[in-house]
Amino acid sequence: MVGPACPALLVAAPASGQGKTTVVAALARLHTRLGRRVRVFKCGPDFLDPQIHAVASGAACQTIDLWMCGRDDAAWRLAQAARSADLVLIEGVMGLFDGKPSAAELARNLGIPIMAVIDGAAMAASFGAIAHGLKHYRPGTPVNAAFANRVGSAYHATLLRDSLPEDIAWYGYLPRDAEAAMPERHLGLLPAAEIDGLVRRIDRMADHLASTPAADLPPAVPFPEAKSPTVARSLEGVTVAVARDAAFCFIYPANVECLEALGARLVHFSPLADAALPTCDAVWLPGGYPELHAETLAANRPLWRALARHVDAGKPLLAECGGMMALFEQLVDGNGIEHQGGGLLPGRTTMQKRLVRLGLQEVELPEGVLRGHSFHFSSADSPFVPLCSTRNADGRPGEAVYRRQRLTASYMHLYFPSNPQAVAALLTA
């Protein structure tokens, strides 16, 4: 059934590092400044790019993924946005055909046209060849437009534009601009709150686009009609304390919405700054960067004692990735310095020089099956016997899941809407 129609683009690329996030942020900012209501989505698991898009568009950036979130979830969120937006933008994941499911599969499944972002810095006519290849590599891939990033001059842009085949439109370009570049570290771009002059950088990129075809709205796309999910209010009357600060900042907006739909009352606290735990029935320690704040976290013994009392009282604590790292007895940072951890789990976590695990995950807990993902540069060493292990999307063994009373901890980031009732059970004493 055909649902609401809205101008939309899925912004993809031939590989990571081509500038998708930069281009999407610039597009979102430009159209927002033109008085349009822009809604941005991120294809595939990611916490950092959506923070930048939220700043650029002035609205939360949701995650959609055919496997982790499911087609129904993605279709519903897109249709909901299309009803009120003037423009829907979706940033792809990795290269257009990378991953299972890929951004190309999402675009074909939901009928969304693709704009290919290609780094044109060291090419001319090859730009057209790459765009042609992206469109025709697999039949039915809706690559309708191309955009050039890191262009050297207006003449260079003309060479790139003229190389495109007739069935791929030129959407414009961004020049090389060191002052607008986004800083990175081991997990990718910096969190939005840590990027110096982020709004200025995004505005500078939007200024570059103002006189290009990117200032025009793309054609309207009819989105598939999708039913709103029905969630039983299983957490009615339950207060969930959510850690939220520079050390614990990896939170899907959909997870917060899911808890609220379940009836939970959310209160926030900062393990970096608060010595006391808010009055609550359950605690959620999401992922983030505890390794960058290990000294401050180690010094906050009153909070860790409060969390230990919380667990000893039989109350739930859900710890994901960085949240779990902080709970071990020791945390070794990227410089090899050992810090005292929360002490709620035996063992230590140690930062590594290379990525340890990246991928979609599924876990079968006593409370139910949940989906999510892992992405971490640390390893955990614990004598504690895991409750179970997660599975990668292809069925290979994944992450250890630890449980002590009602404490559940793993490197896996859960996508709560994949099974709201399992989340409710996790957070119930």
191 C-beta neighbours (distance < 10 Å), count:
19
Please tell me the distance from the alpha carbon of residue 160 to that of residue 210, in angstroms, as a whole number: 19
Assess whether 249 carries a catalytic annotation: no
Q: Which residues contact 222 (CB under 8 A, 6 or more apart)?
A: 2, 3, 4, 5, 111
Beta-ladder partners of 207: none
What burial class does residue 324 get, using C-beta atoms within 10 Å of its C-beta: 0-12 exposed, 13-18 middle, 19+ buried?
buried
Are 259 and 266 spatial neighbours (Cβ–Cβ below 8 Å)?
yes
Are 64 and 89 spatial neighbours (Cβ–Cβ below 8 Å)?
no
Catalytic residue among 69, 249, 321, 388: 321
Report the 3 state secondary structure along 198-261. Answer: HHHHHHHHHHHHCCCHHHCCCCEEEEECCCCCCCCCCCCCCEEEEECCCCCCECCHHHHHHHHH
What burial class does residue 346 get, using C-beta atoms within 10 Å of its C-beta: 0-12 exposed, 13-18 middle, 19+ buried?
middle
Catalytic residues: 321
